[in-house]
Amino acid sequence: MAIPGDPTHSTVAPAALADTELFAVDAYRRSFDADVLDVDREANRVLLSRTAFYPGGGGQPFDTGTLTGPAGPLTVERVKREPTGIWHWLDDDADLPEPKTQIHGELDWKRRHLVMRTHTALHVLCGVIWEEFHIPVTGGNMEVGTGRLDFPLESMSAELGARIETRINEEIAAAHEIVVEFLGRRLADADAALIRTAANLIPREIDPLRIINIVGLDKQADGGTHVMSTAEVGRVRVTGTESKGKGNKRIRIAVEDLHPET
């Protein structure tokens, strides 16, 4: 379950969020029950009263898994947030449930957990670069087990990549606690740590902001899912360093098990 933030500096999750977007308050929730609110038969998708499936966003890919109703398990192939809510696309042969049907959702947990480890690893990378160079992240992308971040570095080298890899794994081994907070905009605006992710550019109507705090290392406004401790990430390998132009350098990483199966 996600760890609550310091109640003297953060708010609780908005009830509408906590009741419907279960991934936002409990990244370790693997299953849930919900009602079908709407069915789009042309697009082969359903809208649920609540969900633990992350819909994608902020560079993090959407979750996959199954929804089980009267017709049996249906494969969730894609999830996306739209103005009407979070929709779940099912396989083409699915016998779609009717509105008001009760349904049970199960995440592909192995995939989700690897995404969580990857997302946290990218935040560790961001924190290491901030400590070393005091510069923000300017772009990034994430896949299952791999990702990359861009920084306004003047130069890049394989030697720097190797040094950054060592620093990332040192911070992972330090077992930093990872705290989920919901911070009101007035407090967020006054928090100098959030400048690295330009929290002031997030629309004002998003209040409070959801904050991921890797205690002692990195603090960012973020809507995605993370592990509870950096130790859970495993090990990170820097797989590439690239120059994408003047003042724009890219670092690619891969997440590996600390003790791979033989």
**What is the residue extent of each domain of the chain?**
16-107, 112-256
Structure tokens at 109: 């947990």
C-alpha 23/C-alpha 52 separation (Å) is 5
Pairwise CA distance, residues 101 & 46, whole Å: 11
239 is written with which tokens? 């797989």
As a residue count, the chain comes to 262
CATH topology for 16-107 is Elongation Factor Tu (Ef-tu); domain 3 (2.40.30)
The closest of 26, 25, 28 to 12, measured between CA atoms, is: 25
Q: How far, CA to CA in Å, does 92 sit from each of 42, 75, 96, 188?
A: 10, 9, 10, 44
Supply the pLDDT for residue 8.
Answer: 44
The pLDDT tens digits for 173-229 are 999 999 999 988 888 878 877 766 666 667 777 788 899 999 999 999 899 999 999
Mean pLDDT for the chain overall: 90
230-246 pLDDT tens trace: 999 999 999 999 998 88
CATH of span 112-256:
3.30.980.10
Given the DSSP bridges, would you call strands 146-151 and 65-69 parallel, antiparallel or unpaired?
unpaired
Give the pLDDT confidence score for residue 201 in this predicted structure: 66
Residue 204 carries which side chain, given as an amino acid letter? R
Name residues of the chain where pLDDT drops below 50. Answer: 1-9, 262
Q: How far is CA 170 from the centre of its chain?
A: 22
Check residue 79 and give its pLDDT.
98
3-state secondary structure of 10: coil
Burial class (CB in 10 A: 0-12, 13-18, 19+), 71: exposed
The pTM of this model reads 0.91
Distance CA 113, CA 122 (A): 14
